[in-house]
């Protein structure tokens, strides 16, 4: 037992956290399965690598700032019929991130825009990309307070270093001219450096309405749409079509 404790201490000194924590199991497995020295070392190293990969993935997901988990496997293509299986597969392969393409998911509330955006973000985190999620209102707030709020500065530094930025709920509320200019500056800065996914309830022709400036709207859309796929997700609300009733489920309204 003293030797095992010494090994655990050595593993900790070397930063082999998984090996330290799993050492008893590792030794038991090696003895039970009569591993050769080579097999034993392979087992130890593979376990450590997998542990570090999973830890890094979990850190990427946490730091992305998703409001809740959404997964591509749960996205209902039978409900969202505007996206074909082939298009969906192309989206999930994420090659558009490497090509610095943007996605604009437009349509009314409840059609799956946010689900698809977050699902793509989760998949990107799984695949090793650095992702940032924000709503438009939160983004505007951190842009306005970057110079005076440390947390805003940290958030924007992460956004600027991300492979993928998801901006949710663009156009739901109007923004001031100053805020619009800050948004334009960020989009310009990220152009050809970061892929951007935007969810919006506005068509391109309506961006002037919430930005309050036709020239600014044109300039922003010009940069976003340079390399971009626009996916109109029109249709009925998934939430309304699948709404649940507590009374119905418990039988109390019968």
Q: Is the pTM of this model over 0.95?
A: no
**Residues 92 and 193 both lie in one domain:** yes
Could you tell me the strand order of the sheet in which 164-170 lies?
A: 131-135, 164-170, 195-200, 102-106, 228-232
245 within domain boundaries: no
DSSP 236: S
**Domain count across the chain:** 2
**Residues 176 and 216 both lie in one domain:** yes
The number of beta carbons lying within 10 Å of the beta carbon of residue 35 is: 17
**Residues 124 and 168 both lie in one domain:** yes
246 within domain boundaries: no
Angle, CA of 198, 200 and 203, to the nearest 5° = 115
- Where a domain ends, among 17, 44, 64? 64
Residue-wise pLDDT tens digits, 212-222: 899 999 999 99
Q: CA of 253: how far to CAs of 73, 144, 234, 239, 249, in Å?
A: 34, 50, 33, 21, 9
User: What is the spatial distance between Cα 135 and Cα 170, in angstroms, rounded to a whole number?
Assistant: 7
Q: What is the pLDDT of residue 229?
A: 93
Residue 198: CATH number of its domain: 3.40.50.300
- Where a domain ends, among 28, 48, 64? 64
pLDDT range class, residue 234, cuts 50, 70, 90: confident
Average pLDDT estimate for 108-136: 95
Query: Please, what is the end-to-end C-alpha distance for the chain in angstroms?
Result: 65
**Residues 7 and 121 both lie in one domain:** no
Contact by Cβ (8 Å): 64, 131 = yes
**Residues 88 and 59 both lie in one domain:** no
- Domain of 148, in residue numbers: 72-238
Q: At what angle are helices 150-160 and 177-190 packed, to 10 degrees?
A: 40
232 within domain boundaries: yes
- Residue 112 reports pLDDT greater than 80: yes
Residue-wise pLDDT tens digits, 132-176: 999 999 999 999 999 999 999 999 999 999 999 999 999 988 899
Q: What is the pLDDT of residue 254?
A: 46
**Residues 37 and 99 both lie in one domain:** no
153 within domain boundaries: yes
**Residues 164 and 194 both lie in one domain:** yes
Contact by Cβ (8 Å): 40, 25 = no
Burial (CB count <10 Å: 0-12, 13-18, 19+), residue 248: exposed
């Amino acid at each position: 037992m003293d030797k095992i404790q010494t090994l655990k201490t050595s593993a900790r000194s070397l930063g082999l956290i998984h090996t330290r924590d799993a050492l008893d199991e590792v030794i038991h497995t090696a003895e039970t399965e009569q591993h050769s020295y080579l097999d034993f070392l392979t087992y130890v190293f593979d376990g450590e690598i997998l542990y570090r990969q999973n830890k890094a993935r979990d850190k990427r997901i946490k730091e992305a700032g998703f409001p809740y988990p959404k997964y591509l496997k749960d996205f209902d293509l039978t409900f969202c019929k505007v996206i074909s299986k082939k298009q969906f597969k192309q989206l999930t392969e994420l090659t558009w991130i490497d090509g610095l393409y943007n996605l604009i998911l437009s349509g009314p509330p409840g059609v799956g825009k946010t689900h698809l955006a977050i699902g793509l973000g989760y998949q990107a985190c799984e695949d090793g990309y650095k992702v940032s999620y924000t709503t438009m209102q939160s983004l505007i707030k951190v842009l306005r307070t970057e110079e005076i709020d440390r947390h805003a500065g940290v958030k924007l530094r992460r956004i600027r270093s991300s492979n993928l930025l998801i901006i949710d709920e663009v156009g739901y509320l109007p923004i001031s001219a100053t805020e619009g200019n800050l948004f334009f500056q960020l989009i310009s800065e990220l152009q050809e450096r970061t892929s951007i996914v935007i969810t919006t309830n506005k068509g391109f022709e309506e961006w002037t309405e919430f930005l309050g400036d036709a020239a600014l709207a044109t300039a922003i859309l010009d940069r976003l749409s340079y390399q971009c796929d626009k996916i109109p997700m029109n249709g009925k609300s998934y939430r309304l079509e699948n709404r649940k009733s507590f009374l119905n489920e418990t039988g109390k309204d019968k």
